[in-house]
Every structure is written in C-alpha cells, then in structure tokens.
Structure 1
Amino acid sequence: MRTSMLLGAAFAAAGAVALPQTAEACGGVFCDGGLPNSMPVNQDGENVLFVLNQNEVEVHIQISIDPNTNAQKFAWLVPIAQIPEFEVGSQPLFDALLNSSVPTYQLQQTFEICGENGISGGLTTNATGTAGDTAGGSTSGEEPAPGEDPVVFKTTAGAFEIVVLQDQTIEPIKQWLLDNDYQWIDGSEMVLQQYLDEGNVIVALKLAAGSDGGDVHPIVLRYPSNENCFPLRLTRFASIENMDIRVFVLGDQRAAPTNYRHVLVNPLKIDWLQFAANYKEVITKAVDDLEADGLAFVTEYAGPSNVVQPFSFNFYSTSWNEAAFVGLPPEQVITTLNDQGLANCFGADFCFYNHPLLESLLNDFLPVPDGLAAEEFYANLPAYAGQIDAMAWGDGSGFAQALDSRIIAPGEHAQELLDTYSYLTRMYTVISPNEMIADPIFHINPDLPEVPSFRSATEYNLCDGNSVVTLPDEREIFVPNGGPWPDFIGEMWWAEEVQQVALKGKPMHLVNNTAAINKKIEEWNLAHGWPRFPDAPTTSASDTDSDGPGSSDGGPDSATGGGQDDASGCGCRTGGGRGGAALMLAGLGLLAARRRRR
C-alpha cells in the first residue's frame, strides 16, 4: 500500500565574453524541458501542492505507481479531518511546478592576467547546475456504532474509486479494506488508530477495475479548514530511507513550516565546482543538524507564481474542446486531436501526445487492433477504418466526457490557480521513516523575503593554478590547484542557520553558525595566502549583520547563493550560448581591490 499525502575559445583583448553551461536540479519529468542533453529524473519522493484560501484548503496529491507492481492491489489511505470534495488533478501542473521552480547553480569562470602574452583577464565562462515532478460529494457522516459498516461515503474521480471510512476503532476499517481487495501493511494499525482518536476519517483510493498504471493521475481534495497538514506519520509505513518530499504552496505570500524547523545550509558543504552535485547529501545532513533533528524543511523557491510557464507543459489550452468528438466518426479522431494541439500524429507511424493521459484514453475508446503497433494505427486511422472497434467508440460521447473530466477540466483549473494566486513557495526535505513522527503544517508569513531559484558563483583562476570562488553572498573561498572543492578540517556544521518561523515577523534563530563559518573561511584563506593583501576583508557582512545576504531571516541561503536550500541534484548539464560581460581585471592591484561585502 502506497500511502500518499505528500501525498501521498576566444579571448577578448579589452573585456570578457560569457560561455554558459547549465545543469539543473530536477524534480519533474525532465530537467530542462527538452534542452540538449536533458535527462529523465527518477523521483523516489512525494510531491504535494497546497492552495491556501480563506477558510478552505485545496490539496493536490501526486500519485505514482511502481510499474513493476500490480497497480490493482495498491491503495492510498489519507487521514483527513472531514469528508472532502474530490476531483481529478493535473499531472502537467506538477511537471510545470517542478521544472519552473527548479534551483539552478551557475559557476562563472574568470582568469587572472598572466604576463603580456597571457590570458586577457576577465574571460568569463558560465557553468550552471541544478540540484535536484470529476465527481465529488460530501456528507456529515455520523460516527458509526462498533460493528457497523465503516463506509460513510463513496464516489469516483477519474480512474480512482474512493471510499471514506469511519469508526471508533481501526479493526472494522482494516477488515473492510482486506475484504475489498485492498493491500494492508502490518504495523500501521496504531498510527491509524491515533488518527481516528483525533477525529479524522480515512479516505481510501484505488484504481477502478479496468484501469492500469497509464491511467494514474493526481487527486484533488478540497475541504473547509484554516490549516493545511498532511499525515506524514502514516507515510512512514510505505516510505524509504532518505525520501524526498517537496511541498508547493500557492497563496498571496510566502509560506513556511509551522511545526517543523526551517534550515539554511552551510555554503562550505556545497560542492560549487560540481554544480552542487552533492546537494541531497548536504540537505539530508543539514535537516538532521542540531535543533533541526530531522524535522525541518528548506526553501528552494519563493516568489511570483508566474515563474511557472504553463504552455511549456501543455496542461491547458483554450483550443481543447470535448464537444468536437461527440458524433465524430472514429477515423477522424486523431485529425481532430492534432487540430486542437492535443496530439501530433503524422506520417506512417509517428504519434506524440501532449498530455500523459491521452494515449490511455485512446486505448480505452479506440483500442489498437491485434497485430498493429499503436503508432501505426493512430497515425493513420483512415487506413484501418475497417478494423476500428465501433462499439468501443460509440458516438464519441464517452470519449468526450473522459477527455473533459481527466484532461480539460483539470487543466483549466490549474490555469485558474496560477492566475488567481500570485505567490509560489517550494519547500523540500529529506526524511526517513523513523523521523516521520509529526505531521507537517504550513502557514503564510507576510514578512518573509523572496528566495530566487538561480544561484551564481564566480571562480577566479589564478596564474599559479589555484583559484578563488566567490559565492553569491560574496564570501571568498580559496581552492588549491583549482579543485576539488576543499574539505574544511574541523568544520562540522551542515546548517548555517536553524530557524523557527512564526506567523509574522522575522524567523527566530535557534542556531546561527554564521560567525563560526566566517572564521573558518578566514583561517582557511589566510593559511593559503589569500587574500594577497591580508588587510582586505574576506568574509561577508553576515558575521556582524544577520539580516544581510548570506545569512538572512528566511532570505537567500548563504549555502545556495541567492536561494535557500534546493533538492534533487540530478546534475543535468546543457550547453548554452554566449551572453553577458565581465569587467576586465587590469592587473594584480585591481584583483586585490575587487569589491567585497562590507
């Protein structure tokens, strides 16, 4: 049983040129939406979207199934305070959220002038990396007496059959699930009983008969409440060690964890030379640091929701129209889908579908005849008109209804959400089953600053083969022989700050290691002869002013450089074009005089 509620080169003589390379942190289906060298990402975690409205919570749960398992045997149990409304969710919306807010690391390369015939100072190369995817109803549902049928509500939503179960004890609910072919995980009884004792009902979802993994889609739950919470205590029974959990919140301002800590990671732990390839390891240890204790989130992005580019992910288009398929001869279906932009089928055997559920719907209403490949059949329906299953297609109304309920309506609602709510927050944690002892709750804090997803550092390559990396907060790190990233002996802190975020105001610092980190940086640099003029400061102002960049109250994370912690370092790398310019360093004197943080 999968419980889900996270559910669950040219050298310039007088200046510089930029040669960007990019690698992005992936959370969705592809790192960078199809750019050269993009690579697919295997998500072992869970993703959930909360939409915060006054007196109402709407939660979108991304559901995934292991393709090597029997999808019909899986069930999803969601404890919730009351019976919600249910709708089909949009997988392309999750793809858009994951990819559009993915944290991106950039490392610009600059070079010291090395003699008259040497490299002209200021040549800049950018290298970027990313760290790290309708039927409803309600009822009052009086509490059943012991021994009665625990089912208080039934409905369907897309490919899922849904029941709401309620009882004073878990045993009748467990027996009902077993009797109705739901898989049960031994050991979950105690936690489910706790949820019942707290006044929750249990929502159980499973795929309807005839559905398979290709029919799986997110589920939307909507219910009156001022609190958004998901049952992580239950997730641990179907979890893995160090599971990725990503929480998105759409609202009017930035969101933060209420009963979990908030962490800013230590920049010395991030491998900037490898585009934060060790990102997940750093986050895993940072959220386990002192006072975080494994119950903490980091913020990957916080800012305008228009960062999400819906048309790049095809989750809605005004050209989609289910009515066009009612009464349509089946051999014209693909042509009509092509015209609406839902499919691109042409030639003898090529079809591309612009929504992950479309091919499954075609299989249901236009099944592929025996002996034919799906591509050759759908790409040339008129040629196989005599083999089309006319009974499965009917008059097209069934296909039209399914198209609307599973693709068009969810996509239109996704677009409405992005148009209505101006602010998106993306949070991330890595957590293991033994740490899932409390259900995270989130709230809006209007006083928190934005957290950009783009973080850019600069590596200044010296003539002697060493280099100096300037982090986005302007702290400088000496790197012997140009790499690898230094291992700072005696430097033990994975988190730069551990915070508790209230409903208003700046976060309270439970742990602040900024001064100690700055001292370690200074000692390291001086031990390696940097700066060349020892009276020049090498650390940021954050050691004396914790509200400045690099160590702010909920602001840009000093470790990620301009954004707080980010997830899922997949390390995709793509080539980019030229762009930008850097000031030429005219000599060693100018090098020493480079602007640093006060």
Structure 2
Amino acid sequence: MTHACGGTFCDNVGQPMPVDQSGEDILFVRDGTDIEVHVRIQYEGEAERFAWIVPIQAIPEVSVGSDPLFARLSQQTAPRWTIQRSYECEEDSPNYEDDGGGISFIPEEDFSGAGGPDVVLEETVGAFEVVVLQGGTAQEVVDFLDANDYAQDGAAEPILQDYIDEGFLLAAVKLTAGAEVEEIHPLSFRFQADEPCVPLRLTAIAAQEDMGVRAYFLDTARWAPTNYQHVTLNPLAYPWWSTNITPLMRYVELLSLAADEAGGRAFTTDYAGQTPPPNADIYDEGWDESVYIDADPVEALEYIVQQNLNTHPLVRQILLEYIPPPPDLGPNQFWSNIWEYTELIDLDAWDGQGFADALAERVIVPGMHAADLLDTWPYLTRLNTTISPHEMTVDPTFHVNPDLPMVAPQQVTSAPVLCGGDQLYEVAVDASADQGGSQTVRVCQPDWSDPPEFVDMPAALRIEQIPEMGPPQVIQDNSEAILASHAAWDSKVWCESNSEGGEDELGDDESAGGQADDGAMPQNVACACSSADDPGRVPVGLALGLLILAGLRPGQRRWRRRV
C-alpha cells in the first residue's frame, strides 16, 4: 500500500510539540507498478524545528513537488455554488443589476547512531533533509531521530511500531539547517506499491478536529474510497440563503456533518472529469536557469521578472538565500528597487551557479514534471473529507471504478425574486426513484426574512459503498427525510408577488385569484414552495393566499407565515 502523508511534529523551545495540522493535500498517480505521491501539508503555528514522518512500503525516489500544481488542481476542482438571481421587478435589483454570481471555495548534517534501524536513503531535497529508515523497533527509531535532531512526540511510538510490524519503511523529513518554516514545499515520493492509502493513524498525532483531507488522483478513470464510505451531499442542507458565514465555512460544515452521519469515516467526490491543462504558473518554456550562472544579482532579478518567476511561491525563498535584503529594508522594497541599493547587496551570499541549481531543483524541474503529469493523464478525481483525530483509527485506501459518472464541481441554483422581495430558491435534488427521482425543489424565503428552518434535515443525501465495478451500493438513502423536512417548512410559509394584476396581464379569472389553465399558479401572481416540482399540485392554503392577495392594494406588504 502507498502511504502519502504521516505525522508532523515541531520543536518548541526544546520541547517536542505536535504541529497544529489543519489540512493535507495529496496527489496520487499510478504508473504501472509505481505510485507517485505528491504531498502538501497545511499547518498553523511556529516551528523552530519541523519534522515529518511518512510511512512508505519501499525505498522511494524523493523530489521537490510543485506548489502551483496543487493550486491548479484546486482551481479546477474546488466546489462552486452559484446563485443565479432574476428580478420580477427591476427596482428590487440592487443598482438595477443582477447581484447573483459564483461563490467559490475556492499553504547537511550527517546522521549518527549505531544499531537500530538501517538508513537506506539519505539526501537533501529542496529545503528538506530526508532519511529513510528500515527495521528496528519504534523505540530505536525514536532514539535515532532524537540523536539526529528530529522532533518527536511520545504518543507516536506505538503507532510507529504498528507500521514497522506491518513492514513499512519510515521516511523522516526535516528542514535543512538555517531554512525557515516558510520554505516548506510539497514533496514527491515515487516507489513500487499496489494501492494508494493515507496513513491517518500517524496523522492523528498532530491533527486538528475536523481536519481537511483532499486526495487527488490522475488516471484514465474515476477513483473512489475502498474502506471508507462515500457520501453525496444534500443540496438542500447547503445554506444558500444565509450570508453570515463564508462559503468555505458553509461547505466544510456540510461535509463534516455528512461524514459524521456516515460514522466519521467517509469521502465525498468534489470533482471527477477532465484533467485541466497546465498553465504558465506551473511551467513556462521560457524558464531557463543557465542565464543566472554568469549573472550578477541585479541581472538575476531582471531575469526573474523577464521569465515571470517573480510570483512563483518558491522563488522568494531562493532570493532570500542568495540576494538577502539588508536588515533595515523589506525584501520587496529591496528587490523592486535594487538599482538604488547596489551598495547594500551582500556579494558574499551571491553564487550564480548555486542560484541556478536551486532554481532548477525547486522550480523548473518540478514544474516541467507537473506539466507532464497533467498532459499525460486525462482524468482527474478529487475526494474530500474532514476527520478528527479520534476517528483516524483506519487508514483509508482507494481504487478505480471506471463505471462511475463524472462529477461537476459547480452546483447552480436559480433564485427568482418576486416583486416586493419574496425570494424563491430552485434547488436540484437527485432524490431516489420512489421519492420522485431528480426534481427541482423550491424553497421560499418571504421578503428576505430569516433563512428556512428545516427540522431534522440530513446533511447527506446518500451514504454509499463503492465497489470496483458497477454503480454505488446505497447504504442509507435520506431522500424521504429530506423532502419531508422541506415539506414541513413549505406548509408554514409561502412567497407571493405584489405586482399589479389585471385583465390585460392575466385575464379576468387569473386576476381574481383563479388558477391558470394547467392548474399551476402563474409565478408573477403567487408561488408556493413545494417538495417536488409538480405544476399540478396546489399546496394547502394557497387559495386563501390568493384571496388575501386579491384584496391588497399595490405596494402593500404582509408577513406571510402559516400557523
């Protein structure tokens, strides 16, 4: 099994303390008998010494990963929830314009010690020192890492022993001497293995509650969790109508609730479909490290701008190393006005060959490889979950299922605003066949009032187990409970328009409160929320609402709540 990430620790004033790890991004690429794993860790808090322990099955090839690659994957796959508002009366529109729009959710010192584990790999990769250990006991591994200045956490020892007993090697990673925490970058591990897996048992040592784990897969078909369940999120549980929390917080809360409903260990599919092409942030053919070899610092900065490398996240750290600003000047001020500060340049720090080598290793070569991955593999899957330390008792594994459909990252909801301010949300719900199948469910929010209060509304539409072939096996379908919760709200409120009716617009019968010929109420007179988009259904109490409406003068507003 392939393990993508592990425990992270830091050294705080000499006392080993866990890093407050808030998330992990992992990319898996299965290429024949090899699996390539790219890992980017997000964490909070200061760390004088940062250590990262990764269980792996075989001796890996380790290289610098590409941060812009993860940015590109996120850009393509992050959930996007879009509200498309339309206004029956133009004066209700802010600035007489549609205020709807997309909401996107859219981080060389020698090793000593005798006995214990064998050192089967030792090298410097980018800003990291990497050592791979094989054999020994967990206590011997801890002693070895302590002797070589790796921070440890006592709670990790029994978990390390479990991995050792299962035959895993342990890759230990720390920052090189003098490197700053800001220099942490993605790493890539490539080795022979059977299936992708995330070693959450070790991650639990440093994880926050409801830590986010996003797993990307590049292949020719869609990937799915094997030993974790899969959840389809309930679109009615997403608070389209609320503006007091950020879109990311809304989505994370919904995902956390749905995973908890599945027992705490479940992924949802944010995206499954075409791989995005590489962009210039990942790799640009104009990048050329050779021009820096014979350049002076001023010329080097000019080349950085000419090659559009000044915005790359890893270039800043290389510049800090080879063209450090003086103590009384900020980096941006110094580099942007280097001609004014030529006498302050630290020529002892400058090394053209070293700068070129660092640029190639940390930026150009990883970027070229990342672009090649996106060009080679046509299908991208993104699985997402939140999970708490006490739930990290089983490492999730994954498999390909070519029979699964594509998943678009964007959910779109129409939101007609009736004259006077009553608002409808038309939410697509893929309910079960016995509950009417896929349908549009209207949610009424009278006059921009308080959001709907759905009682006992599940966060997961479905909880599933996904086999290696064929459709998902449904464990729990919440369609009935979801539609019932909506119907309970629908029975208490309704939305209507206060626009002037009349014979010219609707005809005599309709203006008097009658129904249209097909039995449905014209939307510009009255709209009742319903649990299914059934034009023939007239909800209880609608006739009373029409009689009230017929007696209103234009412009009158009343609170409309059924009791």
Q: What is the CA-CA distance between 1:304 and the residue it aligns to?
A: 1.0
- For 1:426-437, list aligned pairs within 5 A: 426-437=382-393
Instruction: Work out the CA distance in 1 between the residues paired with 2:484 and 2:332.
Output: 63
Query: Which residue in the other structure is 2:345 paired with?
Result: 388
Q: Which range moves more in the overlay, 525-534 or 233-242?
A: 525-534
Deviation at 1:267, TM superposition (A): 2.6
TM-score for both structures, normalised by structure 2: 0.78
Q: Give the 3 Å change call, closer, same or farther, for CA 90–118 of structure 1 in structure 2.
A: closer
- Cα 1:336–1:463, aligned 2, differ >3 Å: closer, same or farther? closer
Q: How far apart are the structure 2 equivalents of 1:370 and 1:493?
A: 56
CA 493–482 in structure 1, closer or farther in 2 if over 3 Å, else same:
same
Mapped partners of 1:221, 1:203: distance in 2: 10
Q: Determine which structure has greater relative contact order: mean sequence separation of CA pairs < 8 Å that are 6+ residues apart, divided by chain length.
A: 1
1:422 and 1:129 map into 2 onto residues whose CA distance is 27
Give the greater-gyration-radius structure (CA).
2
Match of 2:416 among 452, 460, 467: 460
| 1:82 aligned partner, one-letter code | A
Matched AA of 1:106: T
Q: Which residue in 1 is equivalent to 2:51?
A: 75
**Partner Cα distance (2:99, 2:305) in 1:** 42
Structure 1 residues 123 and 58, CA gap change in structure 2 (3 angstroms): same
Alignment of 1:33-52 (within 5 A): 44-52=22-30
Instruction: Evaluate the alpha carbon distance shift between residue 196 and residue 118 of structure 1 in structure 2; reply closer, same or farther with a 3 A threshold.
Output: closer
**Shift in CA distance, 257/483, structure 1 to aligned 2, threshold 3 Å:** farther
Alignment correspondent of 1:295: 265
Contact 2:6 2:53 in 1 (8 A): no
The structure-2 alpha-carbon separation of the partners of 1:149 and 1:295, relative to structure 1 and needing over 3 Å to count, comes to: closer
Deviation at 1:158, TM superposition (A): 0.8
Secondary structure of 1:278's counterpart equals: helix
Superposed displacement of residue 309, structure 1:
5.9
Is 2:395 the counterpart of 1:439?
yes
Q: In structure 2, which of residues 334, 349, 371 is the aligned counterpart of residue 377 of structure 1?
A: 334
2:37 aligns with 59
Distance 2:101 2:451 in 1: 15
Contact 1:466–1:479, Cα closer than 8 Å, also in 2? yes
One of 513, 517, 524 as aligned partner of 2:482: 517
Corresponding residue pairs, total: 482
Q: Is contact 1:111-1:123 (8 Å) kept?
A: no
Q: Does the 8 Å CA contact 2:258/2:459 hold for their aligned counterparts?
A: yes
State how 1:179-218 maps to structure 2 within 5 Å: 179-218=147-186
Could you say if the C-alpha distance between residues 111 and 331 of structure 1 is closer, same or farther in structure 2, counting changes exceeding 3 Å?
closer
- CA distance in 1 between partners of 2:313 and 2:7 (Å): 19
Written as runs of structure 1 = structure 2, the 5 A alignment for 1:215-226 is 215-226=183-194
Shift of 1:422: 1.2
Cα distance between partner residues in 2 of 1:428 and 1:493: 18
Which portions of structure 1, spanning 4 or more consecutive aligned residues, are displaced by more than 6 angstroms? 530-538, 589-593
- Sequence identity, in percent? 35
Are 2:488 and 1:488 aligned? no
Which residue is 1:84 aligned to? Answer: 60
- What SS is found at the alignment partner of 2:257? helix
| Post-superposition offset of 1:255 | 1.3
Q: Does 1:261 align with 2:229?
A: yes
Aligned partners of 1:197 and 1:401: how far apart in 2? 40
| Counterparts in 2 of 1:147 and 1:270: CA distance versus 1, 3 Å | same
Task: State the shift of 1:194 in Å.
Answer: 0.7
Per the alignment, residue 130 of structure 1 pairs with: 104
* 1:384–1:492 CA distance, 2 compared to 1 (3 A): closer
The residue identity in structure 1 corresponding to 2:478 is N
What's the CA shift for 1:592?
Answer: 11
When normalised by structure 1's length, the TM-score is 0.73
Q: 2:254 matched to which residue of 1? A: 282
CA contact (8 A) 1:282 1:494 kept: yes
What residue identity is the alignment partner of 1:202? L
Match of 1:354 in 2: 311
Q: Secondary structure at the match of 2:374?
A: helix
> What SS class does the counterpart of residue 204 from structure 2 fall into?
helix
Residue type matched to 1:99 in 2? Q
**Secondary structure of residue in 1 paired with 2:189:** strand
Q: Is 1:315–2:282 an aligned residue pair?
A: yes
Cα distance, 1:224 vs structure 2: 1.3
Q: Which residue of 2 aligns with 1:107?
A: 83
Q: Match of 1:390, as an amino acid?
A: L
SS class of match (2:152): coil
Structure 2 match to 1:330: 297
Distance, in Å, in 1 between the alignment partners of 2:207 and 2:134 is 25
Runs of at least 5 residues in structure 1 that lack an aligned partner in the other structure: 9-41, 136-145, 343-352, 539-584
Q: Secondary structure at the match of 2:191?
A: strand
Could you tell me which residue of structure 1 aligns to residue 207 of structure 2? 239
Deviation, structure 1 residue 231 = 0.5
Q: Give the 3 Å change call, closer, same or farther, for CA 392–110 of structure 1 in structure 2.
A: closer
Change in CA separation of 1:438 and 1:465 when aligned onto 2, cut-off 3 Å? same
1:377 is displaced (CA, Å) by: 3.2
- 1:9-30 alpha-carbon deviations (Å, 9 max, x no partner): xxxxxxxxxxxxxxxxxxxxxx
Contact in 2 for aligned 1:7/1:230 (Cα 8 Å): no
List runs of 5+ in structure 2 lacking aligned partners: 9-19, 109-113, 430-439, 497-513, 536-563
Q: Contact between 2:116 and 2:136, CA under 8 Å: does it hold in 1? A: no
CA-to-partner distance for each residue in 1:60-87, whole Å, 9 max, x for gaps? Answer: 11134545231xx221001111111100
State the one-letter code of the partner of 2:286. S
Asked if the contact 1:51–1:251 (Cα under 8 Å) also holds between the matched residues in 2, the reply is yes
1:460/1:363 Cα in 2 relative to 1: closer, same or farther (>3 Å)?
A: closer
- Render the CA deviation track for 1:438-486: whole Å, top value 9, x for unaligned: 1111222111111111111122334575432111342222334434321
